[in-house]
A and B are shown apart, each in its own frame.
Chain A
Amino acid sequence: MKRRTFGAIGLAAMLLASTAFAENHAPTLTVGAVAPKTGPLAGGAAVSYWPNVRLWIDDVNSRGGLMVDGTQHMLELIEYDDQTNPGETIKAVQRLATQDEADIILPPYSTGLNLAAAPIFNRFGYPMITATATVDDTKALVSQFPNVFISLGGAKPITEGVAQVLSDLRDRGDIGNRVAMVNVADAFGIELSQNARPALEAAGFEIVYDTSYPLGTQDLSTVIKGAAGTNPDAFVAWSYPPDTFGLTEQAQIEGLNPGAFFTAVATAFPSYQARFGDSVDGVLGIGGVDADGEAFQEYAARHEDVTGEKPDFWASAMVYSSFQALEQAIEAVGTMDNEAIIQHIKDNSFDTVIGTLDFDENNNNPAFWTVGQWQDGLFHGVASTGREGAAEVRARDAN
């Protein structure tokens, strides 16, 4: 923690110094970033979003800057806290565009805040490659805001991925047919569970327990007792960070230890592993990466080096890859002509830390990880819609 404080102070000093000196030496580009530093989503943004902003700025600047108009431009970062409040997100983007005259504005964090900010990004004409928004109907969104690109994937493929992974386990004889499912009662949990019900039933599973709990609930012993009472073969939770931790701990206490145990957001966080240690082995979670892949390994090492924190095994690399796509598009176009940059993103594919990023006709990235699993200390992607490097799913030692 100390290291991080010094890191932050050092970074601030560096930025101040770079503005002071850069004026004389090299031209600069202003980069704006808006995301939660406070409020309900601050914890997630602190893991998956902010470190990647700093890493990307550091990476670009340490290789000499961004090549625009034939000269190298150093990047200068302006950060705003939107307090997890969509109104604040919109205001901050507006401020970046009009007062700070930002050359580049990075997309905000989370589905809700990205959707809220899409119109204002569109109004000012900035490209917006979101890596933290779960959107199913990208066609409708993009026909309205053609500057928006979606890379994280949608609820339907994710739930189908879960159904597929569970089917694989069942077909191998590792688990039976009974699924206990719970969800956090907010937009994310409701949408995922609504998609999961038909997907699981189509795959021949019987949902023996199905309930929700309010956002922010951490006292989940009744929920886990209820699930354990139905003696399930698989436990699936569409959960958020505080409750992902709460459900996992409570399941261990209650001895709810089925052959497949799935929790959603935060399962891929390093702090999940730090808290639960070796007992995470075999736990399934939303998302994933090619954890053994050279690109990810190299990225993870740099992430830890520059920010002092480990990346998570899902959204972190997605966020960084979206910045890389933007960076490559800007350099390919060679000017800060946003319209041309947006067209370039539509027409080309990009080589990133998650592999090739290639948007389809609906500005949607069709290839993403849907399910991962903790295996021997790393969270490996085990199911995707076309990513390479999937590990084979393993059964947990059930009892």
Chain B
Amino acid sequence: MTDGGGMDIIITGLVLGGTYALIAMGLNLQYGMARIMNLANGEVLVVGAFVAFWLYTAGQVSPLLTLFVVAPLAFALNWLIYRFMLLPLVRRAKSQGQLEVDSILVTFGLSFVGVGLMLAFFGGDYFSYSYLARPVRIMGETYGLNRIVAFLGAVVIGGLLYLWLERTRPGRAMRAIAVDPKSARLVGIDVPRMSALAFALGGTITAMGGALLSTYLTLDASTGVLFTLKALVIVIMGGVGDLRGTIVAALLLGLLETFVAAWIDPGLTLAAAYLLFVLILLFRPQGLFGRKA
């Protein structure tokens, strides 16, 4: 429908993919590494977004600076949640399946607690503000500067995380617990500690994503579940426990939705996204980068 050529659509699609990566990378760490299917993931994102909104409207603090406030707070909060609410489940779980069921139930409950607390503290109103809502020209086409900044944020966060996982000792240990927690213990990795770290780090990235997304998305206290759903689809498409898979799946989804919107019909974007999801589940159920169980 747009007369714009391919390049315009590719950039728009990649930028949307960056948004999706911000939504899903944290859940990948939590589910893939720490083995916790965190259904309260979206609420953490909304909290991050709200802090950015609040600091911006109350004190004109740039959301990019807010990231450095949100990150340590989210890390501490998620670490505490893991330590006191999830670790007992990990300890008593006899199998991976049991842990999954237990953690789904607990985090599902937590998501309601999260929504309730946010309603009590922020109220139910929409929160949105205007930040860097300016056009930038890239190769002759215009894009929202806030979206480009969020995309760069996704690149930086994803890049650092990837390097950390690939190049450092704790990163390697974390990949080890993703592959096989039992064997990881045998080589001297403190699995509970690494899992707590993975969970807390995942929450941190999700909350930072929320702060970045708040510069152009309109949210309210109960929108978290939409992000949880999207993140879940992306993590499963990409393959559980592999960061590259999540990033590739996020970009694919962004590109697909933009192509469909531009060339077929914007009304079909969701249908196309779920069609891709179904196809991947049918032909590669372990996800794009997943290992066969």
Contacts and interface: CB of A to CB of B under 8 A. Distances in A.
Interface residues of A, number: 51
A245 B9 CA distance: 22
Interface string A275-291: 11100000000000000
Nearest to A2: B121
A211 B263 CA distance: 12
Contacts of A39: 222
Contacts of B143: 221, 253
A277 B4 contact: no
A331 interface: no
Given A211-B267, A249-B130, A219 B142 contact: no
Given A211-B267, A226-B2, A255 B218 contact: no
Contact of B119 (A37, A216, A252, A254): A37
B128 interface: yes
Interface in A190-216: 209, 211-214, 216
Interface stretch (B28-36, B185-193, B254-262): B254-262
Contacts of A266: 126
Given A37-B124, A38-B221, A39-B222, A214 B267 contact: yes
A57 interface: no
Interface of A: 1, 4-5, 8, 36-40, 42-43, 45-47, 50, 182, 185, 209, 211-214, 216-223, 225-226, 229, 241-242, 245-246, 249-250, 252-255, 266, 269, 271, 274-277, 309
Closest 8 CB pairs of A and B: A46-B124, A222-B261, A43-B220, A38-B222, A226-B1, A43-B126, A212-B267, A213-B266
A396 to B, nearest CB: 18
Given A226-B1, A254-B142, A309 B125 contact: yes
Secondary structure type dominating chain A contacts: helix
B217 interface: yes
Contacts of A182: 266
A211 B265 CA distance: 7
Interface of B: 1-4, 8-9, 12, 16, 19, 54, 115, 119-130, 133-135, 142-144, 147, 216-222, 226, 257-258, 261-262, 265-267, 269-270
A43 B124 contact: yes
Given A40-B222, A226-B266, A255-B142, 18 more contacts: A37-B222, A38-B115, A38-B119, A46-B123, A211-B267, A212-B267, A214-B269, A217-B270, A218-B218, A222-B2, A222-B9, A226-B262, A242-B219, A246-B218, A249-B144, A250-B144, A271-B126, A275-B128
B217 A212 contact: no
B260 to A, nearest CB: 9
B120 A8 contact: yes
Nearest to B122: A1
21 contacts: A5-B120, A5-B121, A5-B123, A36-B124, A38-B221, A42-B222, A45-B124, A46-B123, A47-B125, A50-B124, A218-B216, A222-B1, A226-B1, A229-B1, A242-B218, A246-B217, A249-B133, A249-B144, A249-B216, A250-B144, A271-B126
Contacts of B8: 225
Contacts of A254: 135, 142
Contact of B218 (A1, A245, A250, A309): A245
B125 A255 contact: no
Contacts of A218: 216-218
A277 B130 contact: yes
A274 B9 CA distance: 31
A342 B12 CA distance: 55
A219 B16 contact: yes
Contacts of B258: 222
Contacts of B119: 37-38
A252 B143 CA distance: 11
A216 B16 CA distance: 15
A253 B124 contact: no
A1 B262 CA distance: 40
A254 B144 CA distance: 8
A225 B135 CA distance: 13
A211 B133 contact: no
B266 A222 contact: yes
A179 to B, nearest CB: 16
Nearest to B116: A38
Contacts of A271: 125-128
B124 A221 contact: no
B266 A211 contact: yes
A283 to B, nearest CB: 14
A277 B267 CA distance: 30
Contacts of B120: 5, 8
B20 to A, nearest CB: 10
